[in-house]
Structure 1
């Protein structure tokens, strides 16, 4: 095809052939009156020919009036029936001797025929779902599966070199995403891969040998034979090599990445299970009590045919043997009886079922209540890629650092990375165990975690406005926001203490651990020092191996070795609120002066506030942070200051519970709103 010429979709003879006749290029039917510019294996029955490359898989053109033109300026352009631009090579050349040709390898090449035959563009640089022998796969390329056998548009699976120079397979579905090959729980060297390269190249030769710069290699089962071959990422997420002797023969699978396709993420969608037919093909079925969302597309999974409200003991369980549900564990409950496991699930409104497994190493059973019936993990390489190599630090503490990242499904995340996997193991397990059980609008949501080798990472939702500490320091909060933050934080803590299945003591409530979303709604975070209390435990306190918390926010019980109850969080909350309304730090003394301005003595924040409270009417006006601009409702601020001082009483029994704090603040808010 030369400059100034074109191929028409309406002319069946407008097809380019490779010199050996193995490949064809032109307009390829992808649907009713829908065509794509493609390269395919030549076959008498073009309708059933196997395409290996497409230019416009996402935007097919009309069966009338569409054409491919090699323009005089060197650009190869595809236009639709209305002459609108659909696709082009975006090339420019001053040469008058350009040619588009289809090589024996299946490579569609735009080049200059004079001056050394400079290549301006080639289809091998822009693969779709297939690699051909001798086609070099690079760091800039990606294979993306088709949506289905009958839909050639982009699907949910991709094959690429990651930032660690490793070839990966990724499922990026409608709701979740996850790496699944190599197995994400394997360390790089255990997967027989090497990150020590900077070439990122892979290629399959004509005899059936595949080799990659990350040390991944394989040979096909028919290695050495002269065959037509293709390396394809199929719509079911599996990588396969297909071989055949000539165009009329059927393709045979001579290698595949996943010997057990049911382990491929997302292959059957949520609330379904995967099984094998006699010919080893995959079959997807809905779990009992569920039905297909779309019986033509398994990837959307199944939906319940029953009410999903929290029905408690009205629910019943159906036993399904030889089935494993991956990920989304509410927790890992070791040495549980089956009855205990089921009772735990019944008490959780968002529990969809349980995995109950015998552990041979310990000789006990482990219970895995499932918040979702699907599979997805984070691998270290996936988290590293999401954070661009842990580049943007957004917070730090004694236990580790927090980084901003963007997951493969485009969710913005906050990634907490522990400094030392060994020293921080207790905190890591506490946080995973605690926060995985929580579901409240004023508690941070954890999306996943990574426990790979020495790496310990937690992946959270990202909070746009950072911590309460940062906002107090920058004076970004008016009085209305401060009151709402105090109320929201109280609600979150009340849920921890009194509403969730296993009551949780946070043990480190402070402004740095209260995060604010895009609307300044607070969410309590950082459960690394938390302590679980069984709901049926009648003791007044749990045992603690060490003091927990941050100096200045810790209740006296810690210092004097008194019983530890939920009132330690109440005390910490009170200190946080006092800092919010005064703008003063608990870590610094407050200077008290006489009427002439002469400094008399120093008091800590609580003692200073109690002296101010003795003034009686109008005392709140004396303590509010003078740097905060805007009006405030004196009644609400007085109620906030009063309840905060009650929270920091020396004797724990004089402190209110968090639910009582919520009640007081809500009542104050309603009274002032009605005035």
Structure 2
């Protein structure tokens, strides 16, 4: 067989495989869209495999901007984009279903400014690929103090993500629970607008119900952000997200800045007055912050760089009062103080604190 025929046969074989993937992936995605949108049409732009490969230079390592989320930088139709490609072992189970859920929910919320906008997808790979607007992930747990966000930016991001989660809970035909609210799923565009992303673990609560229960061995998410009841029993409610958001606030506004730190902080000074340091280290950040608040040691937790960024026009007392308001709200979210608020109430409170002078 000639070299030309071999190449032609291989090309036809690849084209047939891509067509099969397109049909198989499209079927699962369509089923999810119909379920979540109550049968209403929800058109999504599709890109070819050739367009994706060209945009990413065949998924070149040099274009991989977020290794954990397998996100690549690319140029598609003369605009910068983020291209998300999950591998087969990225999730514990049901990889195809999770990616299709990510696409489906992204398509439903893309009109809202506080979600990472879905531009389309490609169904011609073994697992679908998402094409999103270009934005930068927030600098989190960075050793470079110059990259840490100032107070105004942190409170703005927190408020806008709270608005996004409120939208998931209240604005769609079914209540959607994100279940994985954590820093790595938050982006900021060139205008400084916060964007929530990654809906692969998103769960829809049936109409007329207030919860969903999954088997305990199917509980997924970021360990330190998992609400206790969900982690133990698989019960998912709006509080699942409220709790995670409370932990996000605590990580975002204290010296334990970053998910790694809150799991295994090296800052022994935070725990030096406790008799059993190992037990304290095993406590979640919510429990530790609650104890510090009880002891009136809020200043010990605050990020000095963030306090400096609040400006010279405020007294230190006033800065700490604003910080305490955020931390007390976070402790309400995690169930350590008073009644647990709805996400809409959380967003309103953050907006009030942001404007507080």
Deviation track 1:414-455 (CA, whole Å, cap 9, x = no partner) reads 111111189511211211121111132111111111111524
Closer/same/farther in 2, CA of residues 562 and 592 from structure 1, 3 Å limit: farther
Q: Where does 1:6-155 land on structure 2 (aligned, <5 Å)?
A: none
Following the alignment from structure 1 to structure 2, what is the Cα–Cα distance between the partners of residues 461 and 509?
20
Following the alignment from structure 2 to structure 1, what is the Cα–Cα distance between the partners of residues 246 and 58?
39
Q: 2:309 aligns with which of 630, 634, 658?
A: 630
> Is the 1:483–1:637 contact (alpha carbons within 8 Å) kept by the matching residues of 2?
no
- The answer to whether 1:543 aligns with 2:221 is no
Following the alignment from structure 1 to structure 2, what is the Cα–Cα distance between the partners of residues 615 and 598?
11
Q: Where does 1:272-351 land on structure 2 (aligned, <5 Å)?
A: 332-333=33-34
Partner in structure 1 of residue 24 of structure 2: none
Partner in structure 1 of residue 67 of structure 2: 396
Q: Where does 1:73-472 land on structure 2 (aligned, <5 Å)?
A: 188-190=14-16, 332-333=33-34, 367=39, 369-370=41-42, 376-391=45-60, 392-397=63-68, 401-407=70-76, 409-420=77-88, 424-438=95-109, 439-463=111-135, 465-469=136-140
Closer/same/farther in 2, CA of residues 425 and 331 from structure 1, 3 Å limit: closer
Using the TM superposition, give the Cα deviation of residue 645 of structure 1 relative to its aligned residue in structure 2, in angstroms.
1.3
Aligned residues: 312
Following the alignment from structure 1 to structure 2, what is the Cα–Cα distance between the partners of residues 332 and 598?
53
Following the alignment from structure 2 to structure 1, what is the Cα–Cα distance between the partners of residues 354 and 228?
31
Using the TM superposition, give the Cα deviation of residue 478 of structure 1 relative to its aligned residue in structure 2, in angstroms.
0.7
Using the TM superposition, give the Cα deviation of residue 662 of structure 1 relative to its aligned residue in structure 2, in angstroms.
1.0
Using the TM superposition, give the Cα deviation of residue 386 of structure 1 relative to its aligned residue in structure 2, in angstroms.
0.8
Partner in structure 1 of residue 291 of structure 2: 611
Following the alignment from structure 1 to structure 2, what is the Cα–Cα distance between the partners of residues 523 and 468?
13
SS at match of 2:253: helix
Following the alignment from structure 2 to structure 1, what is the Cα–Cα distance between the partners of residues 177 and 13?
35
Following the alignment from structure 1 to structure 2, what is the Cα–Cα distance between the partners of residues 377 and 634?
50
Gaps of 5+ in 2: 1-6, 19-29, 312-318
Following the alignment from structure 2 to structure 1, what is the Cα–Cα distance between the partners of residues 143 and 42?
39
Where does structure 1 differ by over 4 angstroms across 4 or more consecutive aligned residues?
470-474
Closer/same/farther in 2, CA of residues 187 and 566 from structure 1, 3 Å limit: farther
- The answer to whether 1:566 aligns with 2:234 is no
Q: Where does 1:504-583 land on structure 2 (aligned, <5 Å)?
A: 504-534=176-206, 537-545=207-215, 546-561=218-233, 563-583=235-255
Using the TM superposition, give the Cα deviation of residue 612 of structure 1 relative to its aligned residue in structure 2, in angstroms.
2.1
Partner in structure 2 of residue 657 of structure 1: 342
> Is the 2:155–2:354 contact (alpha carbons within 8 Å) kept by the matching residues of 1?
no
Using the TM superposition, give the Cα deviation of residue 517 of structure 1 relative to its aligned residue in structure 2, in angstroms.
1.3
Partner in structure 1 of residue 352 of structure 2: 667
Using the TM superposition, give the Cα deviation of residue 331 of structure 1 relative to its aligned residue in structure 2, in angstroms.
6.5
Using the TM superposition, give the Cα deviation of residue 460 of structure 1 relative to its aligned residue in structure 2, in angstroms.
0.8
Closer/same/farther in 2, CA of residues 565 and 574 from structure 1, 3 Å limit: same
Following the alignment from structure 1 to structure 2, what is the Cα–Cα distance between the partners of residues 330 and 573?
30
Following the alignment from structure 1 to structure 2, what is the Cα–Cα distance between the partners of residues 445 and 187?
34
Partner in structure 1 of residue 167 of structure 2: 495
Using the TM superposition, give the Cα deviation of residue 518 of structure 1 relative to its aligned residue in structure 2, in angstroms.
1.6
Using the TM superposition, give the Cα deviation of residue 470 of structure 1 relative to its aligned residue in structure 2, in angstroms.
5.7
Using the TM superposition, give the Cα deviation of residue 553 of structure 1 relative to its aligned residue in structure 2, in angstroms.
0.8
Following the alignment from structure 1 to structure 2, what is the Cα–Cα distance between the partners of residues 434 and 419?
20
Normalised by the length of structure 2, the TM-score is 0.77
Deviates more, 1:604-613 or 1:435-444: 604-613
Deviates more, 1:487-496 or 1:542-551: 542-551
Select the structure that is richer in strand: 1
Normalised by the length of structure 1, the TM-score is 0.42
Using the TM superposition, give the Cα deviation of residue 561 of structure 1 relative to its aligned residue in structure 2, in angstroms.
0.9
Select the structure that is richer in helix: 2
Closer/same/farther in 2, CA of residues 578 and 331 from structure 1, 3 Å limit: same
- The answer to whether 1:586 aligns with 2:262 is yes
